[in-house]
Amino acid sequence: MRSTYNQPMYSSRIRLLSCLPAVFLAFAIAPVTAAENTLASTLAPTGTLRAAFLGDNPSLGRVDRQAGTVTGPVADIVKELARRIGVPYTLIPATDARDIISRMKAHTADLGFMAYNAGRAADVDFSPPWLLMPNSYIVSVDSPLQKVADADRAAIHIAAVKNDTQDVYLSAHLKNNRVDAVAAMPPPDEMESLLVSGKVDAFAANRQRIMEIVNRHPKLRVLPDNFFVAGQAIAVPKGNPSNLEGLNRMLAEILETSLVKDSITRAGLQGVDAAPPPGR
């Protein structure tokens, strides 16, 4: 098992996660039914289930560049999906949702793990959510902002990563303010500098990501409420409804178990929960 992706690269303001070939994970292949064999041939046409995910989102998975491994909810659910259709799997840390969609259109990824939105749904088909990811603001400790509604004022400078779930949602729902979109998530030290200096009043991101920052940077805090709870879903390429149907069936069965909840607990994630089975 080995990894061949690059180290992160930095600009003066923004960390960019490099994403290159995948981390390969092997496991014993269990016997499968005829229906699962059919699904394996279409869902994993190369014989390996290739799953791309947001490589810098700790709510989905943690990439260990030195060990060449991925751990967390994405790793566990892909392992289970691959076991069910009787194939090995590959995890591909991607830079952003556009990177995931590009890989799926180029047929270099079979599954994509990201939040649903209507723009993305024009390019790929989505499962129901399997993971619930709250989103809030990180601010300086002495910020006057006490709840997310306080940020919806023209004088407040809100930033978010361009085209990420937070940017898309806030751009559509803020009534008195706008989002300043940046190319990528700033590194923690830079985030602290931006917020403490007042260059940014509030940075929007998923709660797990910003809780990890404040745990190490006591000059920052996270607002107690959320402006949005994103449903993380699984995408498949458009054009094969039977693939989506088969994926949804397996996902519903998985969500009836404790697999996702147990994975969240092992990963030590904060403010993240397993989605309920569809229909509940």
Shared domain check, 111 and 42: yes
Where do the H-state alpha helices sit in the chain? 34-43, 73-85, 97-105, 118-121, 165-173, 188-197, 207-216, 241-255, 259-267
Shared domain check, 61 and 20: yes
Shared domain check, 145 and 118: no
Scanning the structure block, which residue is given the tokens 């006057």?
Answer: 144
φ and ψ of 49, to 5 deg: -80, 110
Total number of domains constituting the chain: 2
What's the CATH number where 21 sits?
Answer: 3.40.190.10
pLDDT in tens, 186-244: 999 999 999 999 999 999 999 999 999 999 999 999 999 999 999 999 999 998 999 99
- 279 inside domain: no
| CA proximity to 49, closest of 78, 74, 28 | 78
Shared domain check, 60 and 160: no
Task: Please tell me the distance from the alpha carbon of residue 178 to that of residue 176, in angstroms, as a whole number.
Answer: 7
pLDDT in tens, 100-146: 999 999 999 999 999 998 999 999 999 999 999 999 999 999 999 99
Shared domain check, 242 and 103: yes
Shared domain check, 55 and 144: no
Shared domain check, 45 and 33: yes
Q: pTM of the prediction?
A: 0.81
- What is the per-residue DSSP string for 232-243? EEEEEETT-HHH
Provide Rg for the chain, Cα atoms. Answer: 19
Shared domain check, 209 and 260: no
Find the domain containing 167 and state its range: 134-228
Shared domain check, 242 and 222: no
Shared domain check, 109 and 152: no
Q: What is the mean pLDDT of the chain?
A: 89
